[in-house]
């Protein structure tokens, strides 16, 4: 009855036979890759499980993943369970690779959130739960590594519930047995079927007699499950109030309905490394997860017209560009035209390998070949008309940058094109040319993120890179004004060069830029040379006496002399530059450093640490307040020098279990004096000296 109530039920968004897709997400080291290996092993897709440590898993087959013994990109794996087709998307756990996870979640029917059984790590799931809730993605919580759990399930649930906006509904209670090392979890009791199972490593759990000592705990947990479901169903509430026992089929149906509507988060227990609880997870997925039709409706995507959503882009050395996509309506075959672009081939992903197939249909995840104009997040259709209500989330803003150069100068021609392809694969990367420092900056989510990018540039594009900390775009200005006279005279046979100017230089308000005033009377400097004087003054501001561009300065030309034959535009531009170079050191030059407005987000438990972090980096805290739509989080607003921001995200994450974040933008320039200013000027003069020697 349970199968009939949920399989193929239009209310559950299922069409029999349509493949479903589950994204496996969770923090680093929670056991996601081990869970995928166990799921594939249990369904017969692989005959032997691999290990992340050994680098032989289905999802960690790239050179970058093997080098780090961790997932570095989304990997798709296909399998079948009891006649149902599934695609599992194994997502990286590193917070620096969150863009990969977000993209995969946008095409998943359900997310399997993998958590460790540790109370003090529950906060790490807050950003994941928030993204799932914001995008109404049904999700199941799988508490992994129960064989080494040091906390009671009730304690773990309380900690996890604090970071989940949806109610967590426990589906199982653990069976514990005493041993020489204390209590150990050896199985579970299913709270719906009220059957007990003992884990059997490598095989399906054994059905055992329900332990009598566990009955009170099982009844208490089952009643709580029913009460949670009754909050969303009046009939079930009436049964509970009248002390009637709801049929198991009704409970299963209600679980499927509430999961599909993203009203609850079912919680299952297991030991992925030993296959414990994995087959029960597969059964829950089979009976309770909605199909692609429900997801298409939530996303505003048509269920016909060959609707196809691209969620990842690859640039393969030999295969060219591949667009990993999920089909939501109709059939896509080789030669089909989507959004005006011809599909050169349809390939089925198997880990990092691809197998060519003639076509793919609704629900399937496939790679489409050589869609050169298509990018991640594009919704493709045969008619070229995407869903009017469909919106792809904006990519994550960069938080960490390095200045980069190709190791071989000859490769610099290829670098821009290679970086563009890299960013097409990972939209949370970006590269820019800094107009002030003239450096090429590659920006991303952190050190690991950029290290992986450098490895890909080397491995895939044959471009080994050099990188360094970016320079800060310091400026300088003046404290007071001065009047300056300068004369330029040169005679070298024939026409000579002559120009004479009297200028006044004075400071402007911060942010005013540069002003030039013509105060010449009586024609002492002819009109045709005034523009050359301004041009020469501007050129002198490119590098001031401290070695940096000069800003917020006004210059007035009030007198001068000329020669009817020897004066020229070049002569007046030269004398103006000379006058400025003589005047600026007399005007009390002062260094200016860029100050950024920063908003640091973190759980309230870490607010004191955030304050210390900001003030320890010469930051000025302006305000702190509750973060909108984030329960238990605060935003600290501050002004921080740009020179202190380079590695701030690394320290912030180390202080906040990896989940602290910040956003920033340029605010103003501020005077920097004392030893810090002296050090900056000395470093600048050293760099200039080295360039001169070269």
Residue-level pLDDT at 61: 77
Structure confidence at residue 272 as a pLDDT band (50, 70, 90): very high
Which residue in the block uniquely carries the two structure tokens 């800094």?
434
Q: What residues contact residue 79 under an 8 Å CB cut-off, 6+ apart? A: 39, 40, 43, 44, 45, 85, 86, 88
The tens digit of pLDDT for each residue in 359-402 reads 999 999 999 999 999 999 999 999 988 766 788 999 999 999 99
Q: Which of 556, 587, 618 is the last residue of a domain?
A: 587
> What pLDDT, on a 0 to 100 scale, did the predictor assign at position 691?
56
Question: Do you know the residue count of the chain?
Answer: 694
pLDDT score of 231 more than 70: yes
173's tokens: 């209670």
Work out the average pLDDT over 663-679. 96
Segment 237-255 shows an average pLDDT of 95
* Whether residues 215 and 336 fall in one domain: no
Q: Which secondary-structure segment (H or E) carries 269?
A: strand 265-269
**More confidently predicted of 183 and 529:** 529
542 and 419 within one domain: no
What's the token pair of residue 616?
């320890």
Residues 406-441 as b or e (16 or more Cβ within 10 Å = b): beeeebeeebeebbebbbbbbbbbbbeeeeeeebbb
Provide the 10 A C-beta neighbour count for residue 688. Answer: 12
Q: How does residue 303 score in pLDDT terms, banded at 50, 70 and 90? A: confident
Residue 393 lies in a domain: no
Task: Compute the C-alpha angle 354/293/368, nearest 5°.
Answer: 25
Yes or no: say if 632 and 603 are a contact pair by the CB < 8 Å rule: yes
Q: Of 538, 572, 587, which residue is a domain's last?
A: 587
Mean pLDDT for the stretch of residues 55-74: 89
In a domain, 420, yes or no: yes
d(CA 663, CA 445): 12
**161 and 235 together in one domain:** yes
In terms of phi and psi (left: phi > 0; alpha: psi -120 to 50; beta: otherwise), the region of 685 is alpha
Contact yes or no for 396/99 (Cβ under 8 A): yes
Q: How does DSSP classify residue 633? A: E
Rounded to 10 deg, the angle between the 98-105 and 126-134 helix axes is: 30
Average pLDDT over residues 211-225: 95
**307 pLDDT exceeds 50?**
yes
User: Do residue 406 and residue 374 come from a single domain?
Assistant: no
Between 201-205, 311-315, 642-646, the lowest mean confidence (pLDDT) is in 201-205
Q: What is the pLDDT, as a whole number, of residue 181?
A: 61
Domain assignment of residue 391, yes or no: no
Residues 429 and 543 in one domain: no
- For 292, which DSSP code? H
Is residue 1 over pLDDT 50? Answer: no
Residue 484 and residue 375 in one domain? no
CATH code assigned at 24: 3.40.50.300
Q: Of 587, 612, 637, which one is at a domain's C-terminal end?
A: 587
Q: 91: helix, coil or strand?
A: coil
Q: How far apart are CA 340 and CA 369, in angstroms?
A: 14
Tell whether the model's pLDDT for residue 692 goes beyond 90.
no
Indicate the burial class of 496 (C-beta count within 10 angstroms; 0-12, 13-18, 19 or more). Answer: middle
Predicted pLDDT at 182: 65
| DSSP string across 147-172 | GG--S-HHHHHHHHHTT-SSPEEE-E
Name the helix (H) or strand (E) containing 498.
strand 497-507
Q: What is the CATH number of the domain that holds 439?
A: 3.30.70.870
Let me know whether 424 and 517 are in one domain: no
CA atoms within 13 A on the CB side of 484: 23
User: Quick one: which of 42, 53, 120 has its CA closest to 77?
Assistant: 42
Question: Do 56 and 184 sit in the same domain of this protein?
Answer: yes
Whether residue 693 is contained in a domain is answered as: no
Tell me how far apart the alpha carbons of residues 504 and 632 are, in angstroms, rounded to a whole number. Answer: 58
Residue 308 neighbours by CB distance under 10 Å: 30
User: CA 147, CA 127: separation in Å to the nearest integer?
Assistant: 26
Q: Which pLDDT belongs to residue 8?
A: 37
Phi first, then psi, for residue 541 (nearest 5°) are -80, -10
518 - beta bridge partners?
Answer: 557
Structure tokens at 513: 């830029």
Q: Please list, in sequence order, all residues whose beta carbon lies within 8 angstroms of the beta carbon of residue 655, skipping any fewer than 6 positions away.
A: 606, 609, 610, 613
Which phi and psi (to 5°) does residue 412 adopt?
A: -65, -30
Measured distance CA(106)–CA(591) in Å, rounded = 48
Does 268 share its domain with 210? yes
**10 Å Cβ neighbour count for 508?**
15
Report CA dihedral (602, 603, 605, 609) to the nearest 10 degrees.
Answer: 0
Least confident of 68-72, 104-108, 515-519: 68-72
Q: Copy the structure tokens of residue 2.
A: 């349970």
Residues 597, 458, single domain; the answer is no
Interatomic CA distance for residues 45 and 60, integer angstroms: 16
User: What mean pLDDT is predicted for residues 619-644?
Assistant: 97
Per-residue b/e over 190-224, b at no fewer than 16 CB within 10 Å?
bbbeeebbebeeeeebeeeeeeeebeeebeebbee
Residue 135 lies in a domain: yes
pLDDT-based confidence at 6, cuts 50/70/90? Answer: very low
Q: What is the CATH number of the domain that holds 355?
A: 2.40.30.10
pLDDT at 491: 84
Q: Is the pLDDT of residue 237 over 80?
A: yes
Same domain, yes or no: 560 and 459: no
Q: Stretch 234-252: mean pLDDT, rounded?
A: 95
Compute the average pLDDT of residues 419-434: 96
Residue 15 has pLDDT above 90, yes or no: no
Say if residue 163's pLDDT is above 90.
yes
Same domain membership, residue 425 and residue 356: no
Other Cβ atoms less than 10 A from the Cβ of 519: the count is 11
681 lies in some domain: no
Question: What mean pLDDT do residues 39-64 have?
Answer: 89
Question: How far is the C-alpha of 365 from the C-alpha of 357, rounded, in Å?
Answer: 12
pLDDT by residue (tens digit) across 466-493? 999 999 999 999 999 999 999 999 987 6
Q: What would the mean pLDDT of 258-285 be, rounded to a whole number? A: 97
- Mean pLDDT over each residue of the chain, to the nearest integer: 93
CATH (domain of 486): 3.30.230.10
Residue 10: per-residue pLDDT: 41
Q: What CA–CA distance (Å, rounded) separates 667 from 195?
A: 62
Strands 337-338, 308-316: pairing kind: unpaired
The answer to whether 15 touches 85, Cβ cutoff 8 Å, is no
| Distance between CA atoms of residues 20 and 37, nearest Å | 18
pLDDT at 689: 63
Count of domains observed in the chain: 5
Q: Return the pLDDT at 286.
A: 97
CA-CA distance, 198 to 205, in Å (whole number)?
Answer: 5
Share of the chain above pLDDT 70, in %: 96
Instruction: Determine the structural domain holding residue 609 and report its residue range.
Output: 593-676
| 3-state secondary structure at position 265 | strand
- Give Cα separations from 676 to 475, 643, 662, 672 (angstroms): 14, 11, 25, 7
Domain for residue 214, yes or no? yes
Stated pTM of the model: 0.92
Residues 6+ apart with CB under 8 A from 629: none
Residue 626 included in any domain: yes
* Concatenated DSSP letters of 544-555: -TTSS-B-SEEE
Mean pLDDT of 201-212: 93
Q: Please answer whether residues 39 and 22 qualify as being in contact, where contact means their C-beta atoms are separated by less than 8 angstroms.
A: no
């Amino acid at each position: 009855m349970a199968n009939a109530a949920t399989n193929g039920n239009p209310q559950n968004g299922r069409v029999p036979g349509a493949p479903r897709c589950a994204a496996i997400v969770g923090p680093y080291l929670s056991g996601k890759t081990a869970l995928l290996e166990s799921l594939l092993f249990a369904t017969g897709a692989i005959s032997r499980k691999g290990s992340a440590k050994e680098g032989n898993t289905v999802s960690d087959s790239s050179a970058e993943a093997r080098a780090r013994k961790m997932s570095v990109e989304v990997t798709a794996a296909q399998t079948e369970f009891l006649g149902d087709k599934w695609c599992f998307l194994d997502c990286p756990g590193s917070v620096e690779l969150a863009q990969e996870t977000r993209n995969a979640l946008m095409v998943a029917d359900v997310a399997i959130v993998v958590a460790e059984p540790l109370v003090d790590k529950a906060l790490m799931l807050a950003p994941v739960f928030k993204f799932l809730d914001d995008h109404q993605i049904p999700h199941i919580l799988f508490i992994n590594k129960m064989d080494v759990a040091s906390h009671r399930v009730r304690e773990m649930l309380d900690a996890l519930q604090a970071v989940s906006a949806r109610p967590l509904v426990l589906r199982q209670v653990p069976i514990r047995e005493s041993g020489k090392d204390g209590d150990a979890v050896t199985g579970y009791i299913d709270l719906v079927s009220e059957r007990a199972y003992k884990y059997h490593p490598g095989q399906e759990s054994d059905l055992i007699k329900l332990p009598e000592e566990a009955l009170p705990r099982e009844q208490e947990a089952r009643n709580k499950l029913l009460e949670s479901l009754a909050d969303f169903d009046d009939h079930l509430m009436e049964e509970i109030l009248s002390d009637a026992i709801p049929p198991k089929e009704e409970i299963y149906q209600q679980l499927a309905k509430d999961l599909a509507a993203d009203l609850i988060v079912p919680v299952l227990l297991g030991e992925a490394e030993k296959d414990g609880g994995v087959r029960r997870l597969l059964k829950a997925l089979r009976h309770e997860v909605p199909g692609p039709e429900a997801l298409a409706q939530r996303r505003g995507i048509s269920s016909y017209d060959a609707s196809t959503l691209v969620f990842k882009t690859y640039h393969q050395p030999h295969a060219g560009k591949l667009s990993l996509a999920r089909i939501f309506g109709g059939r896509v075959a080789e030669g089909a035209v989507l959004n005006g672009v011809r599909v050169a081939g349809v390939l089925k992903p198997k880990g990092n390998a691809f197998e060519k197939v003639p076509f793919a249909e609704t629900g399937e995840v496939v790679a489409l070949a050589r869609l050169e104009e298509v990018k991640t997040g594009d919704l493709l259709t045969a008619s070229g008309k995407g869903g009017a209500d469909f919106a792809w989330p904006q990519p994550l803003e960069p938080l960490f940058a390095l200045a980069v150069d190709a190791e071989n100068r000859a490769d610099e021609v290829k670098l821009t094109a290679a970086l563009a392809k890299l960013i097409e694969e990972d939209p949370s990367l970006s590269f820019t040319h800094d107009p002030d420092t003239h450096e090429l900056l590659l920006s991303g989510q952190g050190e690991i993120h950029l290290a992986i990018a450098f490895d890909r540039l080397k491995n895939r594009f044959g471009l080994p890179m050099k990188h360094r900390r970016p320079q800060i775009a310091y400026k300088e200005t003046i404290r007071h004004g001065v009047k300056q006279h300068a004369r330029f005279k040169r005679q070298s046979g024939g026409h000579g060069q002559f120009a004479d100017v009297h200028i006044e230089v004075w400071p402007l308000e911060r942010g005013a830029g540069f002003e030039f005033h013509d105060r010449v009377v009586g024609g002492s400097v002819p009109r045709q040379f005034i523009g050359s004087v301004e041009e020469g003054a501007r050129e002198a501001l490119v590098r001031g006496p401290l070695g940096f561009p000069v800003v917020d300065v006004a210059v007035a030309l009030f007198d001068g002399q000329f020669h009817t034959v020897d004066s020229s535009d070049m002569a007046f531009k030269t004398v103006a530059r000379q006058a400025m170079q003589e005047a600026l050191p007399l005007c009390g030059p002062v260094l200016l450093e860029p100050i950024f407005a920063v908003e640091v987000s973190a759980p309230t438990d870490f607010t004191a640490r955030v304050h210390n972090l900001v003030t320890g980096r010469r930051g000025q805290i302006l305000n702190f307040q509750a973060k909108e739509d984030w329960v238990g989080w605060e935003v600290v607003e501050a002004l921080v020098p740009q020179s202190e921001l380079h590695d701030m995200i690394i320290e912030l994450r180390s202080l906040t279990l990896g989940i602290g974040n910040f956003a920033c933008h340029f605010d103003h320039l501020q005077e920097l004096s004392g030893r810090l200013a002296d050090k900056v000027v000395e470093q600048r003069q050293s760099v200039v000296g080295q360039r001169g020697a070269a």
